[in-house]
Amino acid sequence: MVAKSTLGKVFVWGWGGKGQLGLGHIDSEMSPRYLPIEKNNHKERVIQIAAGYSHTLLMLENREL
């Protein structure tokens, strides 16, 4: 599962067996974990999210996925 706060912060949890949570491992998470989104040492704001069985997509404010 994935959720976005009104400030653009992203939290992920659930089955992570394919690395789809984006945490850098394939462990499952039973409770929401903050997923920091950084590019070039600059925090990016997420404006849209989508998730499925084996994927999670985030759209950044600059429209990058």
pLDDT score, position 40: 64
CA contacts within 13 A on the Cβ side of 39 = 10
The 10s digit of each residue's pLDDT in 3-55 is 998 887 899 999 988 888 888 899 999 999 998 887 666 677 888 998 888 88
Q: Is the pTM of this model over 0.75?
A: yes
